[in-house]
Every structure is written in C-alpha cells, then in structure tokens.
C-alpha cells in the first residue's frame, strides 16, 4: 500500500524486496540464515542485491556479508530469539536492563537521522564539505551513539536528573546527542581529509571511560 500511495519514496525498495523474494523463494533458507546469525542486518539502501543477500545464509554471499544494524547508541541490534519447530517461527524479544535505553524508551525519545555529509569551517577559507560513504556514516553514528550513551548514563545518576520533568529530560538527551555528534564529526575530519585515524582512536578511548566534565550537572 505504501508503494502504491507513494511510489517515488517506497516503490524502489518494494521492487527490490519483491524481486529478491522471487529470486530466492525458499523460506527455509531465510530462516536458516536468521537462526545462524545473531545480529540484525542493515538493508536500508534497499538494493536488490542486499535484499537477496538478506535471504541467504553465509558470510560471503549471504546476510552475514551485510553491515550489522545498530541502535541509537551505536550498539549492534540482536535478532530476536525464535522458537524452532513451528510453522512461521515466533520472535521472542529479551527486555533490555540498560537504564539509558529503558528511560529513552519510556520518554519515547529517539535522535533524528544523521546526514551523510557535514561542513566544517577552515581558517581563512570557506567551509569545507565532507561527504560520507555508507560505512563511514555507520562508524560516525557508532562513535556519537557510544558517547551519547556514556554521557546520558552519567547524567541519569545525578540528583539533577531527578528534578527534571519528562519534556526537560528529552531536551537534555537531545542536547547530549547534539554535542556527541559534533565531537564525533571533529574526530572524523583528519580521517576524511588525509586518512588519519588518530583522533577517532582517541575519541573511542576517551568514550570508554568518559565522564562529563561538569559531573553530569546542567
């Protein structure tokens, strides 16, 4: 129905999924691939080849050759467990015990989509634009998401967080994500400009043990 009502937006992905299903109609192979692979896979590009790979098991030409899909915090999304022995396996989800994810879900909070390009000012010159390939955008999202998760976790452990209402908490999460993305872009500039990953590696190291400089206060 989406493809029919808005063919410009949904038509291409619909044709890719339908074509892949016709090219690989054996449902058992799709189930075997999902049982063997613990991760959800990224098929957002919607190409026919990606949709076909998603329906096949294997690392070289199957679903495991596709990028792992990540959540808002840059962490891999796991496939739901499934009961074997039934027609049409039933997904079984495992609730998260992560306080940041629980609170974000309760607030209905999710960050906006990060664009696949950004510009930075160059001293004495016009701003320089950097365009990201799919794998670069994925890594940038991972870096920013991990930093955001660490910062949000620190803030939620403070007394200040308890004084905020839900709208104010959502605003704080937006602010933290904006700061994390800005810092991740800065770390990415030397890599995009000259292939140097030093700042990215430093960013990862800092994030793994990072604390908000203000102790999580506003």
How far is the C-alpha of 89 from the C-alpha of 3, rounded, in Å?
27
Using one digit for the tens of pLDDT, what is the confidence trace for 91-114? 444 556 889 999 999 999 998 888
- Say what the pTM is: 0.67
Nearest to 77 by CA among 174, 145, 177, 152: 145
How far is the C-alpha of 37 from the C-alpha of 59, rounded, in Å?
10
Hey, what are 75's tokens?
């962490």
Report, as ranges of residue numbers, the positions in the chain whose pLDDT lies below 50: 3, 11, 15-16, 19-26, 28, 83-93, 212-218
Provide the pLDDT for residue 70: 79
Provide the pLDDT for residue 40: 76
Provide the pLDDT for residue 62: 73
């Amino acid at each position: 129905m989406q493809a029919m009502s808005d063919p410009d937006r949904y038509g291409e992905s619909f044709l890719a999924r339908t074509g892949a299903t016709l090219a690989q109609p054996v449902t058992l192979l799709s189930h075997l691939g999902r049982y063997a692979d613990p991760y959800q896979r990224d098929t957002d590009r919607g190409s026919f080849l990606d949709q076909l790979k998603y329906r096949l098991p294997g690392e070289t030409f199957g679903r495991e050759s596709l990028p792992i899909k990540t959540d808002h915090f840059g962490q891999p999304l796991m496939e739901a467990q499934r009961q074997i022995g039934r027609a049409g396996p039933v997904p079984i989800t495992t609730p998260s015990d992560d306080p940041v994810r629980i609170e974000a879900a309760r607030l209905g909070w999710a960050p906006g989509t990060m664009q696949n390009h950004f510009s930075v000012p160059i001293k004495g010159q016009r701003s320089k634009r950097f365009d990201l390939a799919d794998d670069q955008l994925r890594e940038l999202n991972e870096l920013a998401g991990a930093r955001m998760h660490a910062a949000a976790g620190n803030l939620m452990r403070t007394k200040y967080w308890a004084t905020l209402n839900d709208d104010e908490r959502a605003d704080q999460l937006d602010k933290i994500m904006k700061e994390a993305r800005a810092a991740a872009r800065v770390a990415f500039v030397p890599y995009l400009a000259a292939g140097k990953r030093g700042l990215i590696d430093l960013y990862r190291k800092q994030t793994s043990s990072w604390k908000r400089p203000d102790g999580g206060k506003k």
